[in-house]
Structure 1
Amino acid sequence: MIPFLLQRTLLLSVTLCLLIIISFSISWLPSDAPLESKPFFDALKYYLTMLSSGDLGTSSVSEQSILEQLLEVFPATIELALLSFIVALALGIPLGVLSGLLEDSFIDRFLRVFSLIGFSLPVLWLGLLLILFFSLTYESLPLSGRLDWRYEIPYQTGFLFFDLWQIPNPLRQAVIEDMFKHLLLPVITLTLAPLAEITYLVRNNCIEINNTLFVRAAKTRRISSFALIRRHILPNAIPQLIPRFGSLFSSMLTMAIITEYVFTWPGIGRWLINSIRQDDYGSISAGVLAIGLFVIIVNTLTNIFAVLLSPSKAKEWQTLG
C-alpha cells in the first residue's frame, strides 16, 4: 500500500507540474497575454508567486477577479456533471448487470446496440436535436439557462440545490420545479454517452465474474438471482470499475463544455469559450488550470478509493507502472 501511495504521489506531482507549465504558457506565450512583456524566468516567478497566494489575476475583458468568476461558474458545471453522472450510474449499473446475466439474449443485443449508439452520438448534435424537439416544436421545456429570469436566488455556494433553501417555502417549490425543467435537457444530453459506457463496462465485468468458479458454486446452492447479484456479482464487479468511473466523470467535464454552450448554461465551459472568443488569456489560463486540477483530484481519489476496497489493485498498478 505504501509503495502504491508513493508512486501515486510522484505521478501526481509530475502531472501538476505539467499542468502548471501549460497554464503558464497560455499566460506568457501569446502576444496579448498578461505576462508576455516579462522575461521567461521573471514571468514564471511572478506566476508561481500569484498561484501560491491564490491570486489568478484580473480578466482583461471584465476587469474582475478571475478567481471570483471561477467560483461563480464552476459550481454550475459540477452540479450539472454530478447529477448527470449519478443518473448514468443509477441506470447504467442495473442495465449492465441485466445485459451481463442475460448474455446473447434479445435484451443483451438490444442494450449492446444502445451502447454503440450512445458512444456514437455527438453531444452537440444531440443537444440541438433535443432543443428542436422539446423547446421549439412542442415548447414543453425551457430552451436555455439555469433558472427562469423571474426567480432570483441569493448567491451563497453557487450550487442551486443548496442556495434555493434560503428562499421562502411557497416560492421554493416553484423554483425547484423550474430548476428541474431547466436541468432536464442538459442532463439527458450529458448522460447518454456515460450511460452507454457504464452499461458496456458493467456488462463485460458481470459476464467475466458470472463465469468464475465461486459464482458457479454459488449457483449450485440454488440461491436466488437477487442474492447472487447482491452477494457475489456486484461486490466483485463494481470495485474494479471505480477508477474507470473516475476517469469517466472527468471526461464529462469536456462534454459539459459543449453542453453548456448549446444550452447557455452559466458554467465554466461557456465561460471558457467566451474567454477564448474574447482573447482573454488570463481567464483561459485559469480555466485550464481549474479544470485540470479538478480532473487530477477526482482521478487520484477514485484510484485510492479503489485500492482501499481492493488492496490487490495496488500491486497490479505498481506492476503496470
Structure 2
Amino acid sequence: MSTTSSRFRRRALSTVAAASVLALSLGACSSAADDSSSTPATNGAIAMGFAGMDITIWNDQLKIMQPIIEDAGYEFLTSDPQWDVQTQVSDWDAWIQRGDVKAIMGFPVQSDAMVPVTERAQAADIPVLGYAVKWDGVEYGTIIDAYEDGRLLGTAAGEWINENMADEAEVTVALIADKTSDLGKGRTEGITDALLETASNAVIDELPGISRAEGNDNAKSQLIADPDTKIWLGTSNDNTAGVYQALLDSGVAADDDSYLVGSLDATNETLDIVKDANSMWRFAFILPAQLLAESNASLLLKAAAGEELEDTVLTSIQVTPENAESFYVQ
C-alpha cells in the first residue's frame, strides 16, 4: 500500500451497552448526593469527577486519593455520571451549591460542555483543575500527553511486526479506540501515526470501544470478519482486557507467539499477565495509579489552600517482566 489512507480502515461495529458500573467501596465517594465521610472534615470538601466509574485505573486512583484528602481535613466527594455529560454537569452544579467545596478536578465526558459549569464554579471562587486534559477556563491539572503515549505503543507494535511479520504483504492491526474524549482521540492518533510510519505493511481496522464489554464484543465481531487478525492494540487497559478475553475464548493460547496484544494503561490484573515473558500481551505502557493519584491530590490540596499551581505532565512507562512488580496498586 502506498498511502496512509489506503492502509487505514474504520469499521463501525455494533456494541452492547457498557459494562455495569463498578461500585466503589469509598465511604464518601458514591455520588454527588452522598456526601457522608468516614473522617470528620474541618476544612470543607474537595471533589474529583471522572466521566464514569467503569475504568479500573480511575477507581484505583480514588482509593489512593481518599485518605490523602481526608487526612488533610477535607471531605472527599466524587460522582458517577456514567458517561452522560448532562449528569456530570448536574453533579458539578450540586457541588458548587453546597457552599463548602474548595476545589474540583475532573475528566470531562465532553470538554466544551463543561465550560459553563466551570465558569459557575470559578464565579463561586472554586478553582477547577483538569485530569488528563484541559478545557476553556481550566489552567492547570494532571496532564497526559496522549499523542506521545500513543506513539510509544504504535512504535513498539510496528517494530514487532517488522521483526516477526515482515514477509507478509499486509498485516491487519485491530485498534480498539475510545474516541469519545480528547484523551482517547490523542492516543488513537498517536498509535495510528507511529504504527503506519514504522511498519509499512500494517493495515489498521479501527474498532470503537471504551469499556471491557465493548472491547470484548467488537473483538468477537472482528474475529468473525477477519479471523486471521493477530495484532490487537487498545487505547486503554479496560478495552484491551476485553479483547484479550475474546482471544482466549476463541481458543488462542495465552502464550501464542504469533499474536500481539498491546495497551495503554495497566492495572494489577494486566500486570499479572504482562509479567509473564511468554504472554501474547506483549506491550503495556503505564501511568501508575499511585503517581496519578498523588499528583491529583497534591494539586487539589494546593488549589483548595490558594497556593501557586503548575501542571504536572506525565508520560507513560513501558511495563516489562522485570519491572512489573513495581507498579502494583496495594
With the length of structure 2 as denominator, give the TM-score of the two structures.
Answer: 0.26
With the length of structure 1 as denominator, give the TM-score of the two structures.
Answer: 0.27
Q: Which has the larger radius of gyration?
A: 1
Larger RCO: 1 or 2 (CA < 8 Å, sep 6+): 1
Between Structure 1 and Structure 2, the one with more strand by share is 2
